[in-house]
Amino acid sequence: MMAAMRPVIIAANWKMNTTPADAGELAATIAGRIREPAVVRVICPPFVCLAAVGAALADEEIGVGAQDVHHEVAGAYTGDTSAAMLQGLASWVIIGHSERRRDHGETDERISGKLRRAVEAGLRPILCVGEVLDDREAGRAVAVVDGQLHGALAGHLPADLQAAGLVIAYEPVWAIGTGRNASGADAAAMAEAVRSSIAAIGWGAAAADVPVLYGGSVTAANIGEFLAEPSIDGALVGGASLKPDEIAGIVARAGLTANARLVETAAT
């Protein structure tokens, strides 16, 4: 599939910010600023804010996503959240975020289990992959991401993941909150490598259909560089997604790309 056929997605990851008392108001404010129907828009608040954000977005065409999900169906896992618990509260879920890998020691095997639970529950997964600075400088970036993809996707039927609408978010860990920036060319090259890896896992030509987002300190000022690359299909936005002006600028720029793709698709 050509880039013109893939959706443009902007997913807001609020991380451990907001409370049930203020999340709904923030979501409503942002919703009023990002009414761009050509862009798939998703807000991922903390678990405790899912209901408030869902209520605030009830009349908006904006998805609600969770920031994580447990790898088991249920059980003695104090403080964790199962996929069944998310049903009715979220329709998307972030899986394997670099901060979960770093702070909670999440392995590719565990991430694979989370992906399975998400698919079973009808949640659309955003699977995060990416390398740290040492891997980038040693020339291992593609190999690391390839290993993460194989670890997370092996054993899953491509048809199941295609039906679930799998999205990949490339997070160059070395460019998140460090002051260092990946270039559009860096992100585009990795997006192509991601699709090559997915094709090799067993997807074949269908790998070209998988949206790949960029997730490395995205702002309204730099989003254009990434969306100018045909292999990049949007962004997983962290801190900037909490600022109405910033996320509005990001979605507005994404709208230009999304509408251009619609025109290109209609012309073919």
Q: Tell me, what CATH number does 138's domain have?
A: 3.20.20.70
The DSSP secondary structure of 200-268, one letter per residue, reads IIIIGGGGGGS-EEE-SS--TTTHHHHHTSTT--EEEE-GGGGSHHHHHHHHHHHHHHHHHHHHHHHH-
Q: Which position among 97, 131, 225, 246 bears the catalytic label?
A: 97
Asked if residue 264 is part of any domain, the answer here is: no
Asked if residue 267 is part of any domain, the answer here is: no
Q: How far apart are CA 253 and CA 257, in angstroms?
A: 7
Q: What local confidence, expressed as pLDDT, does residue 1 receive?
A: 54
Whether residue 233 is predicted with pLDDT greater than 80 in this model: the reply is yes
Whether residue 178 is predicted with pLDDT greater than 80 in this model: the reply is no
Residue 42's pLDDT band (cuts 50, 70, 90): very high
Query: For the whole model, what pTM was predicted?
Result: 0.96
Q: What local confidence, expressed as pLDDT, does residue 2 receive?
A: 66
Q: What local confidence, expressed as pLDDT, does residue 119 receive?
A: 98
Tell me the average pLDDT across 18-37: 98
Whether residue 142 is predicted with pLDDT greater than 80 in this model: the reply is yes
Asked if residue 265 is part of any domain, the answer here is: no
Contact 213, 11 (CB under 8 A): yes
Active-site residue 106, yes or no?
A: no
Q: Percent of the chain having pLDDT more than 70?
A: 98
Residues 69/75/80/82 CA torsion (nearest 10 deg): 30
Residue 217's pLDDT band (cuts 50, 70, 90): confident
Tell me the average pLDDT across 128-141: 95
Asked if residue 51 is part of any domain, the answer here is: yes
Q: How far apart are CA 51 and CA 55, in angstroms?
A: 6
Active-site residue 97, yes or no?
A: yes
Asked if residue 125 is part of any domain, the answer here is: yes
Asked if residue 19 is part of any domain, the answer here is: yes
Q: Which position among 99, 131, 171, 225 bears the catalytic label?
A: 171
Report the domain count for the chain. Answer: 1
Asked if residue 266 is part of any domain, the answer here is: no
Mean pLDDT of the chain: 96
18-57: b or e for each residue (b if 16 or more CB lie within 10 Å)? beeeebbebbbebbeebebebbbbbbbbbbebbbbbbebb
Q: Six-digit token pair at 153?
A: 């996707």
199 DSSP assignment = I
Q: Print the domain residue range for 246.
A: 3-259
pLDDT in tens, 90-111: 999 999 999 999 999 999 999 9
